[in-house]
Homo-oligomer: A and B are copies of this chain.
Amino acid sequence: MSITAPAGFTAAGVAAGLKLTGAKDVALVANQGPTFDSATVFTANRCQANPILWSKEVVKDGTVRAVVINSGGANCYTGAEGFQTTHATAERVAEHLGIGAIDVVVCSTGLIGMLNDRDDLLAGVDAAAAGLSPDGGTDAAEAIMTTDSVSKQVVVEGAGWSIGGMAKGAGMLAPQLATMLVVLTTDAVVPAADLDTALRAATRVSFDRLDSDGCMSTNDTVTLMASGASGITPSLEDFTAALTQACTDLAMQLLKDAEGADHEIAITTLNAATEDEAVEVSRSVARSNLFKAAVFGNDPNWGRVLASIGTTDATFDPADLDVAINGVWVCKQSTPHADPATVDLKPREVSVTIDLKSGSERATVWTNDLTHAYVHENSAYSS
């Protein structure tokens, strides 16, 4: 169900031949109203794909009536011809739905620097529009997959309203999103300004704290549409909490499906002077290839944690840092403490806890280990 769980949404996912495998590759999600409020966040990468350039214009007025997504090609660094393909895609969706193209968000994912076949893509849009259904959520979620091994979907229930979501992404997961496309739907009645506030709050502590491999993508988009079909207006606080739950759930699904990973690593920094500093410290560890390779080797190498912390500008005393791995305080006051041999790193889930002793703020950043399989998948992907 996922994105079609909330009332007022239809979806479809079809195979248009963009993927050589013949798998589904065009997804369409339509908001049937009665409201068409929306909010969207995009990648912070300055080199942006054509769908981003288009969709940034679409979302400016807070109204989005449909999202169309293709996998099998990112339509990135494809110049004016690529932009025309994006525009034509939106126009075709608009024709079918009897709406304006300027209310159609377009997303693309797959290889960059390669033009999509426009005729195949538009034929896919035709088929998707014909197949729109309140049961189409799973088909849509499958159609946006690239190297994903499973589709990612979520439903969070409110009091008489709900939030649905789908996501794709399995690498290039870095701050300010990733090659990560997310569509969120709700039947709550929430004006666009509040959707924006809630979405920024939710992504800030979920997708923005996922840092699988430090590589920021060119195509990331998270779009939230509200149909208002439940007729219920939740408090902004309740809505934000439910949206944060949905985003965090999807982020953890992305983390667990990261290309080639053997471990999911949650890096939590405690007692930081500010939340930003807690994020900075956790992210520095998430970016350390040496530490990530050590986790792959089941080696609780806390020295590499301290070496990463030392590259940041956060407030701390370099001689008074504590580090726990899977709950074992292997380092206290920047010197060896518990025997690292007592840390069991065989389970997939790994926790690193850093105590900065400089305040009362905290934050968690999630990453994966650096494995042979990561190197293999990312050295072979476009060959």
Contacts and interface: CB of A to CB of B under 8 A. Distances in A.
A214 interface: yes
A375 interface: yes
B290 A172 contact: yes
Indicate the member of A77, A213, A293 with the most B CB atoms within 10 Å.
A77
Contacts of A213: 289-290
Interface string A296-338: 1111011110111111100000110100000000010111100
B379 A375 contact: no
A294 interface: yes
Contact of A288 (B215, B297, B371): B215
A111 interface: yes
Interface string A96-130: 00000000000000011110000000000000000
Interface stretch (A18-26, A43-51, A271-279): A43-51
Given A47-B334, A215-B289, A335-B78, A378 B307 contact: no
Most B CB contacts (10 A, CB to CB) among A79, A293, A334, A374 go to A293
Contacts of A215: 288-290, 304, 307-308
A380 interface: yes
Counting chain A residues whose Cβ lies within 8 A of the other chain, the interface size class is 35 or more
A109 B78 CA distance: 48
Q: At the interface, is chain A mostly helix, strand, loop or mixed?
A: loop
Given A215-B307, A218-B306, A383 B299 contact: yes
Contacts of A336: 77-78, 113-114
B307 A112 contact: yes
A216 interface: yes
A376 B381 CA distance: 21
A16 B211 CA distance: 43
A288 to B, nearest CB: 6
A335 to B, nearest CB: 4
A335 B290 contact: no
Contacts of A318: 46-48
Nearest to A176: B311
Nearest to A321: B47
A378 B289 contact: yes
Nearest to A290: B215
Interface in A211-247: 213-218
A76 interface: yes
A307 B376 contact: no
A166 interface: no
A370 interface: yes
Interface in A43-99: 44-48, 74, 76-79, 82
A336 B311 CA distance: 37
Interface of A: 44-48, 74, 76-79, 82, 111-114, 171-172, 213-218, 287-290, 293-294, 296-299, 301-304, 306-312, 318-319, 321, 331, 333-336, 370-372, 374-376, 378-383
26 contacts: A46-B318, A47-B310, A77-B306, A77-B331, A77-B335, A78-B335, A111-B303, A112-B304, A112-B307, A113-B302, A113-B303, A114-B336, A214-B289, A215-B289, A218-B303, A218-B307, A289-B289, A289-B378, A290-B378, A293-B378, A293-B379, A294-B378, A299-B381, A370-B378, A371-B375, A375-B375
